[in-house]
């Protein structure tokens, strides 16, 4: 994030222990751990439990073997997760608020 001038320094502003990459910011940082786990469960449920998705698989979506309707739902949920986390200025992500936000997504 620092390299692309989206952060003041190379370390995560929330945990300071790790370099702030997109993967760290949205799936690895302690700040988002519960929210990311919740989102992963939601995404897994969309495909009937057949597959769990990593951040990288969704960030650069190949999603082979996923029906078009499921793929659209996956990507809508993932994009809304990213927007929610990016707009959240608190130190912890409110999973209940995230769940509500994701429940508003239309098929």
Handedness of CA 25, 31, 35, 40 (dihedral sign): positive
SS3 97: helix
Instruction: Specify the pTM.
Output: 0.81
Q: What are phi and psi of 42, to 5 degrees?
A: -65, -45
Q: Picking from 60-64, 79-83, 99-103, which range would have the lowest pLDDT averaged per residue?
A: 60-64
Tens digits of per-residue pLDDT, 39-49? 999 999 999 99
pLDDT in tens, 69-89: 999 999 999 999 999 999 998
Measure the CA–CA gap between 107 and 99, rounded to whole angstroms.
Answer: 16
């Amino acid at each position: 994030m620092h390299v692309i001038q989206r952060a003041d320094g190379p370390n995560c502003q929330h945990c300071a222990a790790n370099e702030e990459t997109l993967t760290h910011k949205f799936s690895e940082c302690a700040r988002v751990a519960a929210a990311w786990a919740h989102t992963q469960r939601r995404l897994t449920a969309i495909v009937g439990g057949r597959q769990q998705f990593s951040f990288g698989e969704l960030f650069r979506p190949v999603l082979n073997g996923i029906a078009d309707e499921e793929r659209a739902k996956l990507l809508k949920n993932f994009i809304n997760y990213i927007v929610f986390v990016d707009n959240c200025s608190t130190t912890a992500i409110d999973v209940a608020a995230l769940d509500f936000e994701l429940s508003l997504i239309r098929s």
